[in-house]
Amino acid sequence: MASDAGNQTKQAQETYFEFTNQVPAEVWYWAALGSIALSAGFKLAGKDNWALFVGQWPPTFLILAVFHKMLRPQQ
């Protein structure tokens, strides 16, 4: 059973890297900046709930970029 869980974990990691290897690092940074701008736009439009929701995306985008760079520095 333990090796089955290990195989599933390995497969999930490979699936993640298959996707993220296709995404240039700059895309993560621009996505973070874009979501900050979008959040500010929602706030100015008076849509506070959407502003808060979208405003939580930048750390996710940035941590994905850092996580990918740390685990795959050769690429």
Q: Is the pTM of this model over 0.85?
A: no
Distance separating alpha carbons of residues 3 and 24, to the nearest angstrom: 33
Distance separating alpha carbons of residues 21 and 62, to the nearest angstrom: 15
In the block, tokens 């520095």 appear at: 73
Q: How confident is the model at residue 74 (pLDDT cuts 50, 70, 90)?
A: low
* pLDDT per position as a tens digit, 3-58: 677 788 888 888 877 887 788 878 889 999 999 999 999 999 999 999 999 999 99
